[in-house]
Amino acid sequence: MHLRVSDLAVTRSGRPIFSKLSFTLSAGEALALTGPNGAGKSTLLRLLAGLLPMSAGKIVLDGTDPDTPFSEEAHYLGHRDALKPALSSVEVLTFWRAMLGRPALAPRDALDRVGLGHAATLPSAYLSAGQRRRLSLARLLVAHRPIWLLDEPTAALDQASEAMFGDLVADHLTRGGLALIATHTPLPIPTRTLSLKASA
């Protein structure tokens, strides 16, 4: 699998955020997106997730089913945890597993993997910020998607959870996945880096 992004440009409310952005990423590689607040890291991830239109450029993904749109090959985790407060952790993951297709780990196994096995039936509203983030990360494990688009995934994680996150990504890369990770702090895995400049 190989991702080639060339000359990508995006405008938001008429304002150019970035242009002529190009990079490539191959199976087993992670790319850290860095740059100051407002540089366009979240914008780039949302665009790749199919949530924002591009104004120019090309995104080509080789080595996957050509009939599957790019956004359906990708897991997108925004920097806010998308959790329904009244649903338990296991219900949240059951929903995502059905919604995303290509099921992988069972919800309870995914919760064990992120250290939330004890909280499986608690409403997600009762979880701490770090636990909510771990529940969001468990979503990556309940459905197979080869591209992970992660927006500041380690925010709110303690040291042990950050190491657990590193293991999740390393396993994903070993299985031939790709990851693009916006971050302000060093990541616990080796990555290449794409540094976005402040937008005018």
Residues 162 and 188: their CA atoms lie apart, in Å, by 7
Burial of 1 (C-beta count, 10 Å sphere; 0-12/13-18/19+): middle
Applying CB under 6 A, the residues found at the interface with ligand ADP are 12-13, 17, 35, 37-43, 182, 199
Of the two residues 41 and 75, which places its CB atom closer to Mg ion in the complex? 41
Out of Mg ion, ligand ADP, none, what residue 94 binds, judged by CB under 5 to 8 A for its kind, is none
Q: How far is the CB of 192 from ligand ADP (least distance, A)?
A: 18
Specify whether the CB–CB gap between 124 and 135 falls below 8 A. yes
Residues 6+ positions from 1 with CB-CB distance below 8 Å: 26, 27, 61, 62, 63, 64, 146, 176, 178
Draw the binding track, 32-71, toward Mg ion (x: CB under 5 A; -: no contact): ---------xx-----------------------------
Of the two residues 42 and 161, which places its CB atom closer to ligand ADP in the complex? 42
Distances in Å between the alpha carbon of 108 and those of 117, 120, 128, 141? 7, 7, 19, 11
Out of ligand ADP, Mg ion, none, what residue 40 binds, judged by CB under 5 to 8 A for its kind, is ligand ADP
Out of ligand ADP, Mg ion, none, what residue 13 binds, judged by CB under 5 to 8 A for its kind, is ligand ADP
By CB under 5 A, name the binding residues for Mg ion: 41-42
